[in-house]
A and B are shown apart, each in its own frame.
Chain A
Amino acid sequence: MFTWKTMLLQDSASPLMEQLTFFHDHTLLILIIITVLVGQLMLTLFTNKYIHRYLLEGQTIEIIWTVLPAITLIFIAVPSLRLIYILDEINSPMITIKSIGHQWYWSYEYSDFKNIEFDSYMIPIDEMKPWNFRLLDVDNRITVPYESQIRMIITAADVIHSWTIPSLGVKIDATPGRLNQTSFIINRAGLFFGQCSEICGANHSFMPIVIESITPNFFIKWISKMTEI
């Protein structure tokens, strides 16, 4: 269902997404100022009766309307560049999680300690519990500790997929034969949802991604339990 909250960015759950949200708002503010200014100029052109029959050039105004947009662009470009380099940074990750896109599900591997492998399929509508989100919940969630640096290694087994969690500010292509890396820190506990973001075939819409963020101590317990199975 379309609601006011689905119009805008999701609430951020990572420091990176906070920065991305700030940048989005900052850029949108500049866009609104330009739109209002140009709109007002166009409107007055239509409604007034001024004429200037011998106008050929006006050096002063031309310099102003060339330099001002250039300065405006700098105000967008500098924070944008800053962000793009921050997004690339991986400091010292605590765990590495591998995510492999398949037609049409994601599989995950935790291989830092013991080897944990599982597939993550969407829960079909006829098997849904009342508390599940339709087309968004999966049978096996990715469990990660919060306030820890997580490195994701993304690849695919067949066609290109794209691994995304909007509230963490993460989106990266899963390309067969190539390992892409991204990293994030989650601020709090909770469930975070995402969907495959690269058209990958018939069931592209039915391979969601769910992250379950828990305390590092419970994560250790989860890992120990998973390695026992």
Chain B
Amino acid sequence: MSFAAAALKLEDLKTAPFDPRFPNTNQTRYCYQSYVDYYRCQKIRGKDYAPCEYFKKVFHSVCPNAWVEKWDAQREEGTFPGNI
């Protein structure tokens, strides 16, 4: 990939914002809730509904990749405990 194609700008640096639902040091729920919200949003509004992508950005920023992989596997097997 050429450098020009991959060039990021300083303004592109964006991350999951502060969420007043999770004001504490413990952010476990922020990650989990965003993950559930994303797939629930897709289930209700359809796969192409752009506003759902916000949750995806958030849980990718906050959740460890190993957790996301584990939950993805659970969803495929139908053993994911959350309400999607």
List the interface of chain A (C-beta within 8 A of B): 88, 90-96, 98, 100, 109, 111-113, 115, 117, 151, 153, 155, 157, 172, 177-182, 216-217, 220, 223-224, 227-228
Contact B61 A111 (CB under 8 A): yes
Q: Which residues of B contact A91 (CB under 8 A)?
A: 18
- What 0/1 pattern do residues 44 to 79 of B give for CB contact below 8 A with A? 000000000000010011111110000000000000
A109-B64 contact, Cβ under 8 Å, with A220-B9, A227-B6: yes
Is the pair B64, A100 in contact by a Cβ cutoff of 8 Å?
Answer: yes
- Cβ of A127 to closest chain B Cβ, rounded Å: 28
Let me know if A216 and B10 touch, CB within 8 A. Answer: yes
Residues A112 and B61 in contact, CB atoms below 8 Å apart? yes
B13: which A residues are within 8 A, CB to CB? 94-95, 112-113, 216, 220
Tell me the complex Cα distance, A90–B65, Å: 23
Q: Does B83 contact A (CB under 8 A)?
A: no
Cα–Cα distance between A178 and B25 once the two chains are bound (Å): 10
Complex interface: chain A residues within 8 A of B63 (CB)? 179
A71 CB to closest chain B CB (Å) equals 32
**A178 & B28 in contact (Cβ 8 Å cutoff):** yes
Complex: chain A residue closest to B18, CB-CB? A90
Please measure, in the bound complex, the distance between the C-alpha atom of A115 and the C-alpha atom of B59, giving whole angstroms: 12
Interface membership of chain B positions 4-22, coded 1 if the CB is closer than 8 angstroms to chain A and 0 otherwise: 0011111011111110000
Q: Which one of A98, A117, A157 has the highest number of Cβ atoms from chain B below 10 Å of its Cβ?
A: A98
Q: How far is the CA of A113 from the CA of B11 in the complex (A)?
A: 12
When chains A and B are docked, how far (Å) is the Cα of A39 from the Cα of B22?
A: 49
Given the interface contacts A100-B66, A181-B27, does A112 sit within 8 Å of B6 by beta carbon? no
Q: Report yes or no: A109 in contact with B26, Cβ–Cβ below 8 A.
A: no
Residues on the A chain within 8 Å of B57, using CB: 112
Residue numbers in A under 8 Å from B14 (CB-CB): 112
Question: Could you pull out 5 A-B pairs where Cβ atoms are within 8 angstroms?
Answer: A112-B61, A153-B27, A178-B26, A179-B62, A216-B10
B65, A113: Cβ atoms closer than 8 Å: no
Q: Which residues in A have their C-beta under 8 angstroms from that of B18? A: 90-93
A227 vs B2: C-alpha distance in the bound complex, in angstroms? 11
Bound CA span A89–B31, Å: 19
Known interface pairs A96-B15, A157-B66; 20 further A-B residue pairs with C-beta atoms within 8 A, sorted by A's residue number: A91-B18, A92-B18, A93-B16, A94-B13, A98-B64, A109-B65, A112-B13, A113-B8, A113-B12, A113-B13, A151-B15, A179-B31, A179-B62, A179-B63, A180-B26, A216-B10, A217-B10, A220-B9, A220-B10, A228-B1
